[in-house]
Structure 1
Amino acid sequence: MSDTISRFIFDKTDVRGEHVRLEKSYQDILNIHHYPPGVANLLGEFLAAASLLSATIKFEGALILQVRGDGEVPLIMAEANSERELRAIARDANQAMSLDFKTLIGNGQLAMTIDPKHGKRYQGIVSLDGESLAHCLESYFEQSEQLSTRIWLDADGKCASGLMLQELPSKTPDKDRWQHLTTIADTIKSEELLSLDADALLYRLYHQDAVRLFEAKPLIARCQCNRERVEKALLSIGQSELNDIVLEQGLVETNCEFCNRLYQFSAADIAAMFNENTDIVRH
């Protein structure tokens, strides 16, 4: 499988890890929007990062990574859910020419949102002080979660991959062991991260350490948009304004910005929407 995420642990330590490698899902997302090279690479890193982070949380729902900045890319985000479905988008980024993270993102904030199917949303925010997405995420964990976490990300427009090591809470943390494992991981070359599967990469790094790799799980690019969600968004616009659009254009049409799927609503559809939601205040 070319699109997989794999968990691994180091025996007799409190260190766990995740490895992700994306090809088809990454290509499927890029083929919708045709981003410039630097944006395509950064979007791949966001997809890999969202996959890694969502795998560490036991919940039903979605994890969303989003950056709003003043650089060449005003907004970029990736989402991974508990069904291991991925989607991502960079908004107003077709003119971005840089390959540099800071130039693309500029000044802004990195937000990590956990959106469970049941319960309240949680959002953590960290400033974009790092020189890469991986560094910014490491700062997030240091400030917000207080978990020692190291992340390595790479993408080249064809493949996106990532590796994460995380030290779990322990009464007797072994800092020497943590230093040993992360120092070895720092030797990863870009071509190795992009080309090797989890088994080969872990052997390359840790063939002298007791590491246990679990069965890989598949990932897929799939948008979670549906007609019901679009209807909820249209309800917030108001019946009067929607009726004006129908009078002018014949239909209300809207595209999902993630998958570009077209949704159409006739005058009868609009009337039915508001009749079914009688608590909506009409203007």
Structure 2
Amino acid sequence: MSDFTQRFIFDDTDVRGELVTLGDSYQHVLAKHPYPEPVAQLLGELLAAAALLVGTLKFDGLLVLQARSSGAVPLLMVECSSERQVRGIARYHAEQIADGAGLAELMPEGMLTVTIDPRAGQRYQGIVALDGINLSACLTNYFANSEQLPTRFWLYADGRRARGLLLQALPPDRLKDAEARAANWQHLTTLADTLTAEELLGLDNLTVLHRLYHEEAVRLFDPLGLEFRCSCNRQRSANALVSLGQQDAERLLEEHGGSVEIDCQFCNQRYRFDKTDVAQLFAGGGSSAPSSTRH
């Protein structure tokens, strides 16, 4: 598999970890828009973060990471479903992007919103400022500020692969003493801090874990696959037209010469509706297929 997460645990301590590799799905996202290199890297890091976060959750639904700013990249948005399907998009001002620009330059005054949207149950949303040196630091701050389990991220992307490492402290079990737990957490995260972008992007998971934790008892679990998949469809596009109301939808048809095309921003798929389609929608006939008047 070119796209997967792989969980590991430290048998003698109360810490778990997860590694993510995104290849094909990352390339699918980048192929939809001509992203400058700094934007492609930032988007890859956010994709890796979403895949890691889904692994920490037990839910049936959708995780959305949405970053907004007043700078060269006003929007980054990534989704990962509980079925482990990912998609993402960025909005940017090309003329404002310098080679090698980082998070602070690309997204000043930025805010990251984390949304957990289960199919059943209550929606959860948390917000953190993008004031860290990189996305890894910002997500670490999010967990610290929300008083959740101590969690650290290491995220890298280079336009070809996106990789990530997560460490998370678990509730006390093997280590009951608070000082011993803190010391162990400090030890494991300090070792992870020595991992370079080149190592994480270029090495397989077994080699990464051996380099970092060859003196620890680490158990690595089977990988779980990920894939690019866009959730857009004709029915959702039709619902957007219906939400306008019949009068406004018909006016839109007139303004566009008798047909309306709705584009998916994530995958560039186009859904076309003509007068017959729109009439069918407001007559309650649904939108399962384009009308027979299509040329």
TM-score, structure 1 normalization: 0.94
Q: State how 1:53-202 maps to structure 2 within 5 Å.
A: 53-98=53-98, 99-170=101-172, 172=176, 173=178, 174-202=181-209
Q: Deviations over 1:152-191 (max 9, x none)?
A: 0011111110000000222734111111111110110110
CA contact (8 A) 1:70 1:106 kept: yes
How many angstroms does 1:65 deviate by? 0.7
1:211 deviates by: 0.6
2-structure distance, mates of 1:19, 1:93: 32
Residue type matched to 2:274 in 1?
S
What is the rounded CA distance, in whole Å, between the counterparts of 1:183 and 1:92 in structure 2? 35
SS in 1 for 2:72: coil
Tell which deviates more after alignment, 184-193 or 232-241.
232-241
The equivalent residue for 2:238 is: 231
Tell me what 1:16 maps to. 16
Q: Deviations over 1:87-143 (max 9, x none)?
A: 000024444423211111110211000011122321101112211111110110001
- The amino acid that maps onto 1:90 is A
1:264 partnered with 2:272: yes
Q: Is the 8 A contact 2:104 2:131 kept in 1?
A: no
Task: Report if aligned partners of 1:39, 1:96 keep a CA contact under 8 Å in 2.
Answer: no
SS in 2 for 1:201: helix
Does structure 1 conserve the Cα–Cα contact (< 8 Å) formed by 2:79 and 2:86? Answer: yes
Query: Contact 2:19–2:166 (CA<8 Å) still a contact in 1?
Result: yes
CA distance in structure 1 between the partners assigned to 2:71 and 2:134 by the alignment: 14
The SS at the match of 1:146 is coil
Deviations 1:216-266 (A, max 9, x none): 111111111111222222222221121112223211111000000000112
- Distance in structure 2 (CA, Å) of the matches to 1:206 and 1:92: 39
Letter paired with 2:86: L
Name the SS for the 1:268 alignment partner: helix
CA distance in structure 1 between the aligned counterparts of 2:194 and 2:52, rounded to whole angstroms: 20
Is 1:216 aligned to 2:223, yes or no?
yes
- Cα offset for 1:30? 0.3
The answer as to 2:261 corresponding to 1:253 is yes
Compute the displacement of 1:23 (Å).
1.1
Taking the aligned partners of 2:81 and 2:66, their CA distance within structure 1 comes to 15
Matches of 1:31 and 1:222 in 2, distance apart?
13
The count of aligned residue pairs is: 278
Q: In 2 relative to 1, CA 94–254 (structure 1 residues): closer, same or farther, beyond 3 Å?
A: farther
Which letter does structure 2 place at the counterpart of 1:202? L
Q: CA RMSD in A?
A: 1.6
Kept after mapping to 2: 8 A contact 1:109/1:125:
yes
1:32-68 CA-partner distances (Å, limit 9, x unpaired)? 1010010000000000000000111011111111111
Following superposition, the deviation at residue 11 of structure 1 comes to 0.4
Change (3 A) 1:34 1:225: same
SS in 2 for 1:33: coil
Partner of 1:280: none
The answer on whether the counterparts of 1:3 and 1:220 sit within 8 Å (CA) in structure 2 is yes
Structure 2 letter corresponding to 1:259:
C
Answer whether contact 2:110 2:131 (CA < 8 A) is retained. no
Task: Give the aligned residue type for 2:260.
Answer: V
Of 241-250 and 156-165, more deviation after overlay is shown by 241-250
SS at match of 2:117: strand
Mapped to 2, the partners of 1:51 and 1:256 lie a distance apart of 22
